[in-house]
Structure formats: structure tokens, C-alpha cells
A = this chain, B = another copy of it.
């Protein structure tokens, strides 16, 4: 038996409520420009510190030592799956994030409008970052191509210059083993789509025909006279949060990618205002309806990727300030952590362990009275892989029976 098989055999539903707050990219390293403090150390966080003093803390390794997670693997781990085993393609993430429902066998691709010159070479991979409204208009033009060789084509505009295509076939087998047509460089033409097996070779020919027809339709639409396709992928075979944990689950996340991941796991997508208070207020409104709430805070990651220490501190302080909304409507179990670190000094996701806090009647409390990376090094949870977090939350919620006599 392995961990997941045991878990599966001991699930015991009850009426407890669990809230998982994911401060995206929260982990950081001490910054020489800010008196060698991390943003969590620097920020004034009386509420988080009070909660830490009544909780057990530790650090989580999102994937494995030295491995920097993308947002997909980072979240997959948080929800108790092994991110080394499960890949969610970028096309799938974008599609479900935009609210498209993927059927088994569908292939999704994320696309950018782009500019090509008269020789067919790319001059701007993002078509001058055309606004969303323009993308909607252009997508309506492309939507006139409804089907190619029996494969249905579904198009949905995203934010800015981005859109998504779903390829759906009812009779012929199609497969996502297709290269990106984006050459990741300007001055070159878009690549041809190529498949690696019969089903993907067939779909690649459909993709190439779609690109040919699409470019014809866009030829006068400079700067958006072309598009690039990436991340061909199909829906992974994931059990839902209900199937796996017997948790009726809801996501309070504003950004498409996180909504997408949540929806793949069968979470109900709740309204997600952009303010931090709004996220917690949505929880309060829906508290009775679900067992598990995933609350996603994007600002910390954005600030890390922008290299903006003060903006990261500001976002942390906003979470701290809004925390009483949650604490006054306290669920049985609260966890606060991140999907990965995004150190300001690196301006990118990183491999560093994330701080984690678990609070429940049975979490116990350790000697740690602050919620930040270095305090969490000495907490009662030790260091562990993110994929075990869900088991700890279920255990704290007394939703797991004893294993063995």
C-alpha cells in the first residue's frame, strides 16, 4: 500500500469546514536592500502572527529539492496529487480557466495574436499587445471556421492578445502530441504543426489547415494578422475533490489559471472579487454550502515576479488586515501557505520551500509566534512535501479514520 491507497481507505466525511489560503509565490529569501528581511519578515502582520502563535507551522517543498514549480504543478501538489505524476497542459489550463468545458478526448491550445511581415516572418509575437476588445472582435472572425475535416473548432477570447482553441472530434481519434507553432523568436515564420502518432498527425493537419485559413481571414488586420499556437493538451484523468476526499469544494480565485485548476478538480467556482477582503467575504457568504474552500491570492506572486519588494509587503499586509473576516467566521481548519516561492531578488518562481501554517482545535501549537520563512523552519510540522498537506488538513478535520488495528 502507498500513502494514497491508505488515505483512500480511511476517508470519513463529517461536517467540518476547511479553508486553504494560497498566497501565490509567498516564499522569499532575505533581501539585502531591506535589511536582510524577507517580505513576510518585513511586513507588519499582527493577525498572522497571532494566528501563528495558536497554530503549528513548518515548511513545504512544493515538488522536490531544487525544483522550481510552474503554477500547475505547484497547485496540483497543494491539492494532494503528486505533481511528478500529473501534467496539466497549458492549453487545458487556459481553456478551463476561461470557463470552457473540456470533454474527454478534446485537445486545447492556447494562442496569441501576432504580427507577420510580407515574407511570413514574425515581427511581433504579441501583435503589439492588442486589447481584449480587439481580440474578441478577431476571434469572432476566426469563429467562421467551424469545422475542418470533421473536427469541430471552438474558439474563445482570453485577456489581451490571448485566445484558446478547442479541437473536438466525435468520430475520429485526435491526440495532443503536437509541437507549438510559436518559434519563441521573432524574424522567423511560425512553425508547422507536426504530430507524433496517427491521431496527432491527423490533428496537426487540421491545425495547419486552420492556421492557413485563419491567416487568410486576418491578412488585413495588421498588427494582428497572424496567431501562434502553444500547449496542445487534453484533460488529464483527475478525480474530483469529492471523489478523492469526499469534500464538497469551492474555489475563490480571480485568475483564469487557478479557476481552471480548481474546475478540473470539480470545485465550484465562486465569485472572486479582486480585493482581498472580497475573497474572504465570499467565503463567509458561502460557508454553509461547502466543506473545503480554496482561496487564491495572486498579488504576492505578481510582486515577486515584478521584483517589487514593497508591493509584496503591501499584499501580505492586506491579507493580514482582512484575516479577521475569516477568523470571525472561523472554519474548523485553516491552512495558509503558497504554491511556490517567488523571491523578489529572482523576479521569478523559485525552488525555495514555502512557509505553511495549520490551525485547528487539534493542530497543536509549537513555540513559533511569527508567520515567516525563518520562523517556520523550527515549527512542529517540520519540512515536508506539499502533496502531503491535504492529508494533514483532513486529519486536523478528523476526516480520517485510524489505519490498522
Contacts and interface: CB of A to CB of B under 8 A. Distances in A.
Interface of A: 1-3, 6-7, 10, 29-30, 36, 38, 59, 63-73, 83-85, 87-90, 93, 231, 343, 345-346, 348-353, 361-367, 373-374, 377-380, 382-384, 388, 390-395, 400-405
Contact of A84 (B1, B72, B73): B1
A207 to B, nearest CB: 20
A110 to B, nearest CB: 9
Contacts of A88: 404-405
Grouping DSSP codes into helix (H, G, I), strand (E, B) and loop, the A interface class, with mixed when no group exceeds half, is loop
A395 B68 contact: yes
Contact of A67 (B361, B390, B400): B400
Given A29-B363, A84-B3, A67 B403 contact: yes
B66 A395 contact: yes
B403 A73 contact: yes
Contact of A30 (B59, B87, B343, B364): B364
Contacts of A65: 3, 384, 388, 391-392, 395
A362 B350 contact: yes
A64 B90 CA distance: 32
A357 B247 CA distance: 38
A84 B2 contact: yes
A344 to B, nearest CB: 11
A38 B362 CA distance: 12
A368 to B, nearest CB: 9
**Which interface residue of A2, A3, A89, A382 has the most chain B CB atoms within 10 A?**
A382
Nearest to A6: B67
**Which interface residue of A83, A352, A366 has the most chain B CB atoms within 10 A?**
A352
A335 to B, nearest CB: 12
A75 B92 CA distance: 43
A351 B1 contact: no
